[in-house]
Amino acid sequence: MNILWIKFNTINGGFQKRGIQSLVLIMKCIFCSGETHVTDKRESPEGTRRRRECLKCKKRFTTYEKAEKKAIIVVKKDGRREPFSREKIKIGIMKACEKRPIPLKNIENALDEIEEKLYKKGKEVKSEVIGKMIMHKLKKLDDIAYIRFASVYMNFKDIKDFKLALRQV
Ligand SMILES: [Zn+2]
- For residue 9, what is the domain's CATH number? 2.20.25
**Cβ(142)–Cβ(164) under 8 Å?**
no
pLDDT band at 138 (very low <50, low <70, confident <90, very high): very high
65 and 113: one domain?
no
- Does residue 26 register a pLDDT over 70? no
AA identity, residue 117 = K
The mean pLDDT value for 133-149 works out to 92
63 and 144: one domain?
no
Which of 15, 35, 69 is a domain's end point?
69
What integer pLDDT is reported at residue 51 of this predicted model?
92
**Cβ(65)–Cβ(42) under 8 Å?**
no
What integer pLDDT is reported at residue 69 of this predicted model?
64
The whole-angstrom separation of Cα 57 and Cα 165 is 66
- H-only helix segments in the chain: 13-26, 86-97, 104-121, 127-141, 143-153, 159-168
For ligand 1, the distance from its centroid to the CA atom of residue 28, given in whole angstroms, is 8
For ligand 1, the distance from its centroid to the CA atom of residue 31, given in whole angstroms, is 5
Q: How many domains does the chain have?
A: 2
What pTM did the predictor assign? 0.56
For ligand 1, the distance from its centroid to the CA atom of residue 18, given in whole angstroms, is 25
For ligand 1, the distance from its centroid to the CA atom of residue 53, given in whole angstroms, is 8
Distance, CA of 104 to chain centre? 15
- Domain residues for the domain of 88 are 73-168
Which of 69, 87, 104 is a domain's end point?
69
60 and 95: one domain?
no
Which of 43, 69, 95 is a domain's end point?
69
What integer pLDDT is reported at residue 156 of this predicted model?
59
For ligand 1, the distance from its centroid to the CA atom of residue 2, given in whole angstroms, is 12
102 and 39: one domain?
no
The mean pLDDT value for 107-131 works out to 88
The mean pLDDT value for 2-29 works out to 46
Residue range 78-104, pLDDT digits in tens: 999 998 888 899 999 999 999 999 999
